[in-house]
């Protein structure tokens, strides 16, 4: 394999992994922090994609302008959803195990509701728009400008989130809750305020990922399911509660899929993902950077 081809496969894997990272970090904040298994997480990614698509086609402006709009709308929806559904679910569940079981069932219900609403509004046809689709070449490596831009935004978003978790007061409180929910409560951290904030942030990241995906792929009402599954694989790889683990796990999965589909068959992508998932569970059951 020549260097240009190897670099092309690596770049493709990192771009895919970057998208996975944004999805997985949001899901990790919900499940790792609150034990809420939101199986509808990918559907809010889909809503973010459609919101960006609608605004882009209506105004013709750059979809980058609508990235904060999509994220903000999903953040507000997440706050509302936590208040109306998941907070009561947590308060009425006697154990963490029962909370997880109930949240899975509620998540599936939300998934079908949101999917069918999207079908009623936009139909089942694939939709999309052209944005920076021109190819860029450097030393034999060809990458479209939109994919390169998406990767840059993903890296910047992940870096800002990690820095915020390490340096801000709210971020340190979230990390304390990830390490020990009981210990965080004993030292005076108000979990009733942080839980909806983190749930909303998780959906905001999903909305951002949907906006970015709409810049490079066609979108449909069913697009979110595969990203929910991938997000679950990534947070298991990286370790529950570890944001850095989610980032590393996502990049690893993206590279494995990129190299694997090149050497085998693109239709085997999910088989490769599950293969890595099982292998890590056997070797390191608590994840690469388990806490």
Residue 176 lies in a domain: yes
Residue 38 lies in a domain: yes
The predicted pLDDT at position 265 comes to 65
Residue 262 lies in a domain: no
Q: In which band, very low, low, confident or very high, does the pLDDT at 74 lie, cut at 50, 70 and 90?
A: very high
- pLDDT at residue 229 tops 80: yes
Residue 231 lies in a domain: no
- pLDDT at residue 184 tops 90: no
Q: What is the pLDDT of residues 106-116, one digit of tens each?
A: 888 889 999 99
- pLDDT at residue 269 tops 70: no
Q: What is the mean pLDDT of the chain?
A: 81
Residue 269 lies in a domain: no
The predicted pLDDT at position 1 comes to 56
The predicted pLDDT at position 256 comes to 81
Tell me which DSSP letter residue 136 carries.
E
Q: What is the pLDDT of residues 8-57, one digit of tens each?
A: 778 888 888 888 888 888 888 887 777 788 888 889 999 999 999 999 99
The predicted pLDDT at position 289 comes to 59
The predicted pLDDT at position 202 comes to 87
- pLDDT at residue 177 tops 80: no
Residue 249 lies in a domain: no
Query: Rg of the chain over CA atoms, in angstroms?
Result: 19
- pLDDT at residue 249 tops 70: yes
The predicted pLDDT at position 83 comes to 87
The predicted pLDDT at position 185 comes to 67
Q: What is the pLDDT of residues 115-132, one digit of tens each?
A: 999 999 888 888 888 888
The predicted pLDDT at position 181 comes to 65
Q: What is the pLDDT of residues 191-220, one digit of tens each?
A: 777 788 888 888 998 899 899 888 888 888
Number of domains in the chain: 1
* Domain containing residue 55: 15-224
Mean pLDDT value of segment 164-171: 80
The predicted pLDDT at position 180 comes to 66
- pLDDT at residue 254 tops 80: yes
The predicted pLDDT at position 52 comes to 92
């Amino acid at each position: 394999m020549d260097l240009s081809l190897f670099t092309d496969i690596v770049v493709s894997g990192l771009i895919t992994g970057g998208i996975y990272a944004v999805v997985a970090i949001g899901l990790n904040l919900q499940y790792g922090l609150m034990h809420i298994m939101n199986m509808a997480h990918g559907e809010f990614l889909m809503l973010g994609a459609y919101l960006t698509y609608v605004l882009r086609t209506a105004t013709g402006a750059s979809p980058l302008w609508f990235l904060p709009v999509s994220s903000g709308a999903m953040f507000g929806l997440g706050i509302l959803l936590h208040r109306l559904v998941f907070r009561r679910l947590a308060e009425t569940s006697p154990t963490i195990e029962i909370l997880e079981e109930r949240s899975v069932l509620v998540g599936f219900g939300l998934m079908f509701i949101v999917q069918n609403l999207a079908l009623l509004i936009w139909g089942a046809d694939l939709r999309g728009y052209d944005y920076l689709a021109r190819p860029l070449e450097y030393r034999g490596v060809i990458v479209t400008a939109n994919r390169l831009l998406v990767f840059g935004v993903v890296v910047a978003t992940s870096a800002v989130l990690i820095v915020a978790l390490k340096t801000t007061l709210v971020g340190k409180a979230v990390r304390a809750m990830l390490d020990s929910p009981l210990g965080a409560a004993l030292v005076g951290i108000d979990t009733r305020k942080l839980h909806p904030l983190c749930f909303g942030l998780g959906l905001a990241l999903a909305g951002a990922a949907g906006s970015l995906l709409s810049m490079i792929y066609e979108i449909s009402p069913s697009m979110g399911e595969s990203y929910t599954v991938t997000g679950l694989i990534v947070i298991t790889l990286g370790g529950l509660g570890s944001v850095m683990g989610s980032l590393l796990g996502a990049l690893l999965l993206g590279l494995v899929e990129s190299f694997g589909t090149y050497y085998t068959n693109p239709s085997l992508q999910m088989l490769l993902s599950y293969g890595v998932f099982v292998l890590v569970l056997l070797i390191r059951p608590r994840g690469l950077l388990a806490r």
